[in-house]
Structure 1
């Protein structure tokens, strides 16, 4: 499950160009400390023979949908069933995308209590998430979904699902290879990730400020 993401002020266009091998843009982006479904952000796709950024709304609306209500159920797509779901299987050949973020949020449940965590790469580098995207001409929408895998044993105490995380050197192949090769990349992330408790204020989408990323101080 991936229900919230964040892109801090440290995630610059220079990193977008370097990690995704794109030639545009030339100006910096605005940080978003609480990226929620329906928010629009730049997403990397393969277009006209090169990697390019395209603004998209998070929450995939299928190409055949006549209304936008289904988008709320399609913020994530399970890697194991992509080839079975009508909303996704027709996108696997040429509508794969990469989403660059600083990290994402997840909630660990302990009985009735849920505690928010920010989840980052252990090496501090931005995360590249594998996704699918769709244009819907009737609704004039361009939307995307984040693909998830089983959690690693280390992450399982937080949640049983984990976004499919790509390394920079995998992005070109993910965007352009045949599905038989690209689909094989959708495995639980083998690298180190850190899950750090933060304020549950992130649960309110209206809250969007740098302090959401501040680690909680353990109380004696």
Structure 2
């Protein structure tokens, strides 16, 4: 599953994309809200898009991965299955990314595959967020679905990638979930192997 993504989107690209779909941003927000990173992994902090009290879409730093359920010896919940669930009462968010990664192979280092969205400067992954407990910061997880034709040769699941026109529909849930939380058509994602695996 997706436990690593890239955030190389510039703030200018981000603002231009939101303006094109009429999503307001906080007037005080600056490029500092969208730090860049070649790899954001489980436990790292990444910028997340959420609806603020004034209905603007703000970028907010959160930890990648929900803490494990209390009393369970498990790792963070970084991917969350979307099928058969309602998210109307959930805190929905978008994770901006220039690419996400999937890995193949059984030995380290595994082959690393980079996925980008065709015909768009960047993509957003549908997610959920929770407030932190105690002195912990808020955290987010990525929603997953069955793999589309672009991902299926690499992995048996994939994160939900949303096109820009669907970003407001997910944040405000103004479209049925089954129309949003599904794989994109063939040819929507480009893939390249950026690291060969061990033999």
TM-score tier, shorter chain, comes to 0.7 to 0.9
TM-score (norm 2): 0.81
* Count of aligned pairs: 187
Unpaired segments of 5 or more residues in structure 1? 84-90, 202-220
8 Å Cα contact 1:67/1:139 also seen in 2: no
Give the aligned partner of residue 51 of structure 1. Answer: 57
Q: Partners of 2:12 and 2:73 in 1: how far apart?
A: 36
The two structures, once aligned, show a CA RMSD in angstroms of 2.7
> Pairwise mapping of residues 155-194 of structure 1 onto structure 2 (< 5 A)?
155-177=151-173, 181-190=176-185, 192-194=188-190
Q: Partners of 1:31 and 1:183 in 2: how far apart?
A: 31
- 2:143 is the counterpart of 1:147: yes
Give the aligned partner of residue 4 of structure 1. Answer: 4
Q: Partners of 2:150 and 2:12 in 1: how far apart?
A: 31
> Pairwise mapping of residues 2-151 of structure 1 onto structure 2 (< 5 A)?
2-8=2-8, 11-20=9-18, 21-24=23-26, 25-28=29-32, 29-48=34-53, 49-61=55-67, 72-80=75-83, 82-83=85-86, 92-109=88-105, 114-123=110-119, 125-151=121-147
My pick for the range that moved more, 184-193 or 14-23, is 14-23
SS at match of 1:188: coil
Q: CA deviation at 1:112?
A: 5.5
Q: Partners of 1:149 and 1:142 in 2: how far apart?
A: 24
TM-score (norm 1): 0.74
Structure 1 stretches of 4+ with a deviation exceeding 4 A read 65-70
8 Å Cα contact 1:92/1:132 also seen in 2: no
My pick for the range that moved more, 123-132 or 142-151, is 123-132
Q: Partners of 1:145 and 1:80 in 2: how far apart?
A: 15
Q: CA deviation at 1:195?
A: 1.4
Q: Partners of 1:173 and 1:61 in 2: how far apart?
A: 27
8 Å Cα contact 1:66/1:138 also seen in 2: no
Q: Partners of 1:66 and 1:138 in 2: how far apart?
A: 14
8 Å Cα contact 2:92/2:127 also seen in 1: yes
Q: CA deviation at 1:181?
A: 2.1
Q: Partners of 1:102 and 1:40 in 2: how far apart?
A: 16
Unpaired segments of 5 or more residues in structure 2? none
Larger helix proportion of the pair: 1
Q: CA deviation at 1:54?
A: 1.2
